[in-house]
Structure 1
Amino acid sequence: MKYLYLAFLSILFIQFSFAQTATSNDSLTLNEVLEFMVEDLDCASISNITSPNNAQMHNQGFSSYGSFQVQNEPNFPFDSGIVLSTTSVSDLENITNNGDSQWPGDSDLAALIQEPGNTHNATVIEFDFIPFREELKVDYLLASDEYPVFVCDFADTFAFIISGPGISNVNPYDHDANPNTPEVNLDLGGLNIATLPGTTIPVNPTNIHDMTTDCTGSMGEFAVPQFFDAQAFDNNIISFTGQTLPLTAKVDLIPGQTYHIELKIADRGDTVLNSAVFIDADSFEMGTIPEDLPYEPGLPVELPECWTTSDTASFDILNTCSETSENYLQLYGGNYSLQTAAVDTDGVAGVNISWDMLNGCNDIAEAGKNLLVEYFNGNDWQLLADIDPISIPVANSNSSDNWMTVNYTVTSGMNKNFTLRFSRQSGNNQQDDISIANLSITEQTLSNEEFSVDTFKIYPNPVSDILTIETLNSTQIDQIEIIDIQGKILKTTNQLEIDVQSLSTGLYFAKISRQNSYIIKRFIKK
């Protein structure tokens, strides 16, 4: 049946041809490809660039990756960038769909769609990098010839899999977007960040389409139509017959640490119709080596395991003032910051934070040579404390008698990468020292009944009119918010039966809150 459809597509392309405004370059080296993706490759820390699977290495006679440039095309959001495809990228306006080209697929992509051994024609680019900012973002879209007819079953899939400090190799994924089936835990050697915003749903044609094809009982039944680009559908200078809206893959990272990323795409089931991922030029925003501060990952002393560094640091680890204290750091004056390793606080009510402090184990810090303490809330840094040294007890003959304990409670910004950052922005190196020890970050638990995802049930799901929230242990609810996939709050109520008839078809979230804690349930509006 696919071959009959191909003949029909050929007639359409003959009748509706446009002047060429999309060009590609499929003869680039891997380093040259990355120059289109990274803003300043010379100043970025990228190494070990390889492509372990692509068309050329399997003697197909063409390249399945390269760069692209698009001009004067309102239905394509990117002017330039890189493209990875399941076919040749030499002519984006006339993609060949005949199934003749075949080379191996990818086991990670097969796992994401829960069909081992059923992917083909994979293209993979991978490399190591060191970020110099706390968040990585990549802008992209998926284009495919599986649109519009074969969206029920042909999940041509791609992934951006990142691994490194603070990132688990095993993560949950909602492979079919079905709210009534559990997520599957997969070991992909890292985290796939190419998922729909606010979900663990992988991006492919079965999970994003406009629902005009009836997929009842098939993989594409529970698609999220909000991310399908209906405006560009079959009305674009690239010859793919459908595409998603621009999406952003993002993840929190620890600056100065080494990470590995794999960009990969493959066909599902057969090689007849093809797909491609387009990545916007310069969108791989990892930051560059700071010009104002020389960056040197090799520190003069060894940090305890719970600490990392984000800038050049002037500090020491001594025992003169705290012979038995754990994680004791002497922070001299200067311009630098240290941060704790990331702590997963997602879903907890809050955290209690405490540490001991002392002024001047070696040289007393003067007024105004402050210690700044911030916490990472999942998006940016929030101020926790701005501590003037005059408020800290002064060391008494290098003894620990004067240590002061401070305590803070944080109940907002809980996330998978909760981190503390201690900064000195003034003072002299080897002088003005402030010491901290016995740092503790512990969960703030609710004082009464449990409040967790398992406490609630929502039904029916999918829903057409009334959504019911059922509490399973008489837990009190302060507020319920209905939120769309862009994060916009559409309804706020404290009622357990919510009228959702006015919502458009698609994916939504119910945020259920009590005190300083909340859980999120996902539902589909029919």
Structure 2
Amino acid sequence: MKWNAEDPVSDFERQRNTYHENTNNPEAQGNRNPFIDNPRLATRIWGGPEAEDTWGIYTSSDVEIPSVPTNLIATNITTFSVDLSWTASTDNVAVTSYDVFVNGNLYKNTTTTQLTVIGLNSDTVYSLSVLAKDIANNSSAQTTAINIKTLIDNQAPTTPTNIVISNQTTTSFVVSWDASTDNTAVTAYEIFIDSVLNGTTADTSFTVSNLTTSTTYSVQIRAKDAKNNISNFSTAVDATTSDINQVSSELFFSEYVEGSSNNKALEIVNNTDADVDLTGFSIKRQKDGGVDGDVWENELQLSGTILKKDVYVIINGSASLQKLKDEADFVQPNANETNFGAPINFNGNDPVGLFKNGVLVDIIGTYNGGNANFAINKTLRRKSGVSKPNTTFDLANEWDEYPQDNVNDIGTHSSILSVTSFENAGFKLYPNPVISKFFIANNFGDEILTISIFNAIGKKVFQSQQSTKEFHVQFLSKGIYFIKISTEKGIFATKFVKE
């Protein structure tokens, strides 16, 4: 702090601050050092000797207020906005900004003498005014308020177009469409199934659920604005749910373990309501993202079955982490004849693909992405909100990243925690909501092998292999949790609320 007060900021430091602020410069860090801009900030935060106040805000003797802005004018009034402009104020030092008020409340501060006010309601009167401020924060009086009235909104949004049906399962499908436009703003879309309102959303996609297997439905969408102006119905599109024996497109990667040494593993989730035969499914990798022109190679043909609402874990045969060994459904031998466990010997820059009869279904990493190192020394887990495969890798929006060798959640995925079969299987959890402890009644007397608790994003927070009926959960934060019980007859889950 002594140095900060005694060593003035140099021209070189000011130039360096400007250099690093330039986000177009690939060598710059993209932000300024505020203590170069004004050393007095450090004094105000930590005390000590008073440093120079280059802004003059904290040491200024300026008490003269700016003049009141003049000629406040409102133009281009729409259903939701208005353009304001005014003549600049004057000051003995300098006017630095203006505060704009809407109905007496501060709307925004600006350094210019014009501003577009948005977010207004249609057919509504508003009072608008402006005041000026200088660098010492002296404020003028507000201008005399002017009143405006926004236009009446009686225009309906455009009709939604390009209706697309995807991700059909036995009981659901996803419908998506191109956004409508409106003179103010589209606020919602209504989804009609067989001419009956099924749901409303502000997004341009919607999951229609609780449907009947192998059934065709008529889908239409219409758009609404804040004044309840409603568009025409979109052209009807047919959507057919899957047959019980049909493989759904919701078979996808749910975890990618790029661990130390040979601790490599993949997890595939079956989010459908039917068991899926893995015949025809395979996994391939692309070495180093195609740096040397490599294509998909080291194909591993899968076999067996992924049970409904379950996962399938594939590990390298030389994996040493016990959790991987315990959860493995398939072990790829690490030997010469398998090219040392390929393709389950990937590195963090090797894209891995899930294929069905040679057609790419899902991918981790970018094909021909080069040495991107998208997952080097990491574990990737699919986010809880992802419910379908994607042949375009989207790390930021679809995956959570964890440290190397973090495999605590391998063997399960949040999207498969069913809440429908718990009580039918003879189990009951009470009380619910839970304050400090709950009990599990086991009406049919089936032996409980393991009990696990997951938080709302699918992270396992508790596991027990003891067939106890009383659970103390004071350690849990407030929120929604899932409990999963494994028995010889299957896996059953329900949710509870911790208060």
TM-score by length of 1: 0.27
* RCO higher in structure (CA 8 A, sep ≥6): 1
Please say which structure displays the higher CA radius of gyration.
2
TM-score by length of 2: 0.28
